[in-house]
Chains A and B, each alone.
Chain A
Amino acid sequence: MNKKLTINSDTFIWTKNKKGLIYNSQNGNYLLFQLTDEIEKICNHLNDYDNLYNIIVDINNLKSKTKEFVQNITNKKLGILNEIDKDIISLPPLLNVLNDIERLKKDKTRSESENILKYLSILTFYTGGKCKYSDYYKQTFYPYCSDIILAAEKIIDFLGTIESPYLNSINIVISDIANYSDLFSLTDYLKTLHRNITVYIHYSDVLSNINILDKLTIDNLIIKIICEADKNIKNILSHCKGKPYRYNFLVKNEKEYNICEQLAETLQSGYYTIVPIFDNNLSFFENNVFISEDDVLDTKLNKREIFAHQAINTNFFGLLSVLPDSKVYSNVNCEALGTINDSVYNLILKEFHNNYSWQLLRNQKPCCDCLFQWLCPSLSNYEFVTGKMNLCNYNND
């Protein structure tokens, strides 16, 4: 008996290495299955866009595995079975970005005249200064130690060239607050911009500079304190009680995690974040950071979010960082795009041409062979510092 099987719009069908996944991005329902020859044929037919997610199946003559597959699809509301003469139109997910970067790259005058500034949303400046911290700035907001200092004047000049309503956040990561003499001229300037401003400082700088922090506490400026678990931290937190600071707790093992979690209990939710740090502690990462199949499938992603994973790196897109030597990066783990003296347009264009990070996708091994390729979060700094492209417990075999 012939029936028409129609997969719902907004539902993705992925197949890799004899396995398959049908994922409904409207409600998170999914079906994992083995690809038999017959099922593979059906999937290939459905994934041909010209068929608009329709296939005629001879229900009674399907192999038992295939029959079960079709039943699962209808039971899980991933698709429906209908009479063959019923016209049901379904639109398979297929991304079309009208202002596609590939076309922009090919056309020089277009890339000059197009408003590419709109893609820049977050700028981070590392002021630098004398200190002896680790290089955790490659993973998260963390002071950068250097002899050179990024003068406030340079930051202000650079920001003056960026007239864009799309730039919504500016971060300043300060290494040695007591000796960053231009701090107030910088914050006075930042106050005039209608953007979210966050100043990051290391907890060890807090107690001796509490007056400076008090003066910094202004309307559109958030102070975030980078905390590491040591015996002093409790003391610092109690000093800061009642102040509107936010906290990033950096943790490298379970013990630190427990300490920070305890400390965090005294803070308002939303005022702190726990940030795992990779430092020769792979097993901590494996147990706590790596994602599992369940993690991936439990995170319900809508179609837009999946498309985003297919086109851009959602962690890095729109970000530029400036190190104390004035070099500008789309990601501090990659090569510099240029310096703060270059035009911001050229910096952005260079990122589009070189694709250091903004469009870094999970399209390389092992993720390209994985069913969860587009469900998994975009690559993050952890992949850079661990040198491992998949931070997961998923076995693709």
Chain B
Amino acid sequence: MNIMKKIKITGNNIEDLLINLGQITLEVTDACNLKCKYCAYGDLYSGYDVRENKYLSFETVKTLIDYLSELWKSKISTSQIPKTHIGFYGGEPLMNIKLIKKTVEYIENLNIRRNFAFIMTTNAMLLDRYMNFLVEKKFNLLISLDGDSEGQSYRVNHSGRNSFDIVYRNVKLLQAKYPQYFEEHVEFNSVLHNRNSVERTFTFIKNEFAKKPTIAELNSFGIREDKIDEFYATYNNKAKSLYSSDNCDKLSDEMFVGVPQTKELFSFLKYYSGNVFVNYNYLLFDKSKLKYITTGTCSPFSRKLFLTVNGKIIQCERIHHSFALGNVENGKVNLDFEYVATRFNAYLDKLYKQCLTCFRKQYCNQCFYSIPGIDGEKPTCNSFMNKEDFEEYKMRCLNHLNKYPKLYKKLMTEAFTE
């Protein structure tokens, strides 16, 4: 008998999640001073609001913050002093520095028992102008840089000129002027494509800035039909790129969970070794008897709330804007917790039958928002695993471990991401 019961989320759950909200990401503008070839707003992709060089208004941000503050004041949270990260996202967020400054000031003056921290992803083109402010407010910066000049060559300005020289100069300036801040608050992310490689990008950023970048492949979701060939010409597989490098073993060791197979192995060990526990409470009862939500989709607002430049409220910036759960309009937040829960449950329902027979159902990491046709009658999850698929997945992970046996101890004692 299959004991998997349907588990649903409720409006109350949504309210609790907002009370304990850990991150608000504000799309402060959809404008950008670069025109990267692979940008999500670029012509390779469909599914995002058309970029209109819009700027998020302070009124909209204030309306949202006031709404959340009221909620935060009215209910007890589960931690002593909850912490919420305020993320600024673009386009290029620094193009709307006015809003960022106003928002930071407003948040700092909120009379509320809550800690805030600021984070931003930036292309660093305007870093020279605004670094003093970012440093003063201890922003955690994620700088997008695809490595050396050639690697950066898809990141061009509107007249097609490579942004490398300006970005490099600005980042070096930040590093020289504020070395401690740089060490503590700056990270890099790089996009992998056909003009760079894992090795070159990793080594460049490590040598130049003493940082280990996060390297991501091009997003393969939402590609326009007519651009598929172009996409694949630009695409570079991370594992392939890594394994074709001269220094593969040393590099893999340094990149640790940044290596796709190692990441997959860690997730396998986390879920299936029986050695990894989220916290001490899990040591006290048999987790397999717990009910669980099928699909790996996070519950709305459990990770963050994303506010688009058009005032849409979405559960994260990575998903299609048509999945908006509410909005901020005319000085009012429209967010119906029951509707949010019902809509989420409806997607779970649609996939339920398929999930029921899936071998990874208990530890699925498939977000349903990225299942093609999820809004249709009968969406099909391509990540479904039957017994053989699951065995294959298991063997793939274990073979990687067999090849790099030292990873076991390292992963179990040094890797802690939930």
A residues neighboring B (CB under 8 Å):
9-10, 49-52, 87, 89, 91-101, 103, 109, 112-119, 121, 161, 163-164, 166, 303-304, 307-308, 311-312, 314, 317-318, 343, 345-346
Known contacts A115-B20, A304-B283: does B416 contact A98 (CB below 8 Å)?
yes
Q: Which residue from chain A places its CB closest to the CB of B117 in the assembled complex?
A: A109
Judge whether B279 and A97 touch: CB under 8 Å. Answer: yes
Q: A308-B283, A314-B284 given. 18 additional CB < 8 A pairs?
A: A50-B405, A51-B405, A52-B408, A87-B402, A91-B275, A94-B409, A95-B275, A96-B276, A96-B415, A97-B278, A98-B270, A109-B115, A112-B79, A113-B82, A115-B79, A161-B76, A166-B281, A311-B280
Closest partner residue, chain B, to A113 (CB atom): B83
**Whose C-beta in chain A lies nearest to the C-beta of B416?**
A98
- Say whether A52 contacts B279, CB under 8 Å: no
State the B residues within 8 Å of A (CB).
20, 75-83, 115, 269-270, 273-281, 283-284, 286, 398-399, 401-402, 405-406, 408-409, 411-413, 415-418
Cross-chain contact B405 with A52 (CB below 8 angstroms): yes
Residue of A nearest to B269 (CB): A91
CA of A94 to CA of B411, assembled, Å: 10
Within the complex, which residue of A94, A99, A118 is in contact with B412, where a contact is CB–CB below 8 Å? Answer: A94
**Nearest A residue to B417 by beta-carbon distance?**
A98
Please name the 8 residue pairs, one residue from A and one from B, whose CB atoms are nearest each other, closest first: A113-B83, A345-B80, A49-B409, A308-B283, A163-B76, A115-B78, A99-B279, A112-B81
**Chain A residues within 8 Å of B275, by CB:** 91, 93-96, 303, 307
Set of chain B residues within 8 Å of A114, measured between Cβ atoms: 79
CA–CA, A116 and B412, complex, Å:
23
CB pair A307–B115 under 8 Å, yes or no, is no
Q: Contact: B79 with A89, CB < 8 Å? A: no
Chain B residues contacting A94 (CB-CB under 8 Å) are 275, 408-409, 412-413
- Whether B281 and A118, one on each chain, are in contact in the complex, defined by CB atoms closer than 8 angstroms, is yes
Q: Which of B278, B283, B402, B406 has the most CB of A within 10 A?
A: B283
Q: Are A116 and B79 in contact, with the CB atoms below 8 A? A: yes
Contact of A343 among B77, B80, B278, B283 (CB under 8 A): B80
- B409 to A50, Cβ gap below 8 A? yes
Give bound CA distance, A320 to B324, whole Å: 44
- Chain B residue nearest to A99 in the complex (CB): B279
User: Are the C-beta atoms of B284 and A98 separated by less than 8 Å?
Assistant: no
Among candidates A49, A117, A318, residue contacting B78 with C-beta atoms closer than 8 Å: A117
* Contact assessment for B79 and A311 in the assembled complex, using a CB-CB cutoff below 8 Å: no
Contact B81 A317 (CB under 8 A): no
Is the beta-carbon distance between B277 and A98 smaller than 8 angstroms? yes
- Smallest distance from the beta carbon of A268 to chain B beta carbons, Å? 26
Residue on A nearest B272 in the bound complex, by CB: A91
CB-CB under 8 A from B408, the residues of chain A are 49-50, 52, 91-92, 94
Residues of B with C-beta under 8 A to A87: 399, 402
Which residues of chain B are near A112, meaning CB under 8 Å? Answer: 79-81, 83, 115
Chain B residues within 8 Å of A116, by CB: 79-80
Chain A: minimal CB distance from B196 (Å): 33
Chain B positions within 8 Å of A96 at CB level: 275-277, 411-413, 415-416
- B276 contacts A98, CB within 8 Å? yes
A89→B416 contact, CB < 8 A:
no
- Residues of B within 8 Å of A317, CB to CB, are 280, 284
**Max chain A C-beta neighbours (<10 A), residue from B76, B80, B277, B399:** B80
Task: Select from chain A the residue with minimum beta-carbon distance to B80.
Answer: A345
Q: Which residues of A contact B77 (CB under 8 A)?
A: 163
B79→A345 contact, CB < 8 A: yes
Q: Which residues of A contact B413 (CB under 8 A)?
A: 94, 96
Contact among A50, A52, A99, A345 for B278, CB-based, below 8 A: A99
Q: Which residue of B lies closest to A94 (CB)?
A: B412
A308-B283, A317-B280 given as contacts; is B82 within 8 A of A91 (CB)? no
Task: Give the shortest distance, in Å, between B143 (CB) and chain A (any CB).
Answer: 24
* Complexed CA–CA distance, A50 and B401 (Å): 10
Known A-B contacts A91-B408, A95-B275; the reply to A312 vs B280 at CB < 8 A is yes
On whether the beta carbons of A109 and B280 are closer than 8 Å, the reply is no
Q: Could you jot down 26 A-B contacts, CB within 8 Å?
A: A52-B408, A91-B275, A96-B412, A96-B413, A97-B283, A98-B276, A98-B416, A99-B278, A99-B280, A99-B416, A103-B416, A113-B79, A113-B80, A113-B83, A118-B279, A163-B76, A163-B77, A166-B281, A304-B277, A304-B283, A307-B275, A312-B280, A312-B284, A314-B284, A317-B280, A345-B80
| A94–B416 alpha-carbon span in the complex (Å) | 14
Whether the pair A119, B280 counts as a contact (CB closer than 8 A) is yes
B416:A164 contact, CB within 8 angstroms: no
Cross-interface CB contact of A109 among B83, B273, B277, B411, cutoff 8 Å: B83
Chain B residue at smallest Cβ distance from A114: B79
Nearest Cβ on chain B to A111's Cβ, whole angstroms:
8
Quick one: closest A residue to B273, CB to CB? A91
Chain B residue nearest to A309 (CB atoms) is: B283
Q: In the complex the two chains form, is A100's CB within 8 Å of B283's CB?
A: no
Q: How far is the CB of A23 from chain B (nearest CB, A)?
A: 15
Bound-complex Cα distance A187 to B268 (A): 48
**A303 to B408 Cα, complex, angstroms:** 18
* Chain B residues closer than 8 Å to A164, beta-carbon distance: 78
In the complex, chain A residues whose CB is within 8 Å of the CB of B418:
98-99
Are B278 and A98 within 8 A (Cβ)? yes
- B266 nearest CB neighbor, chain A only: A96
Which residue of the partner chain B has the closest CB to A310?
A: B283
CA distance A119 to B401 in the complex (A): 34
A contact residues around B83 at 8 Å (CB): 109, 112-113
Return chain A residues, CB-CB under 8 Å to B409. 49-50, 94
Q: How far is the CA of A17 from the CA of B59 in the complex (A)?
A: 72
Q: Do B286 and A304 touch (CB < 8 A)? A: yes
Q: Which of B402, B408, B409 has the most CB of A within 10 A?
A: B408
**Distance of A88 Cα from B270 Cα, bound (Å):** 20
Q: Which residue of B lies closest to A87 (CB)?
A: B402
Q: Separation in Å of the A98 CB from the closest CB of chain B?
A: 5
Q: How far is the CA of A101 from the CA of B277 in the complex (A)?
A: 13
Taking CB atoms, residues of chain A closer than 8 Å to B281 are: 118-119, 121, 166, 318
Q: What chain B residues lie within 8 Å of A345 (beta carbons)?
A: 79-80
Return chain A residues, CB-CB under 8 Å to B78: 115, 117-118, 163-164
Which residue of B276, B278, B280 is within 8 Å of A101 (Cβ)? B280
- Residues in A with CB closer than 8 Å to B412 are 49, 94-96
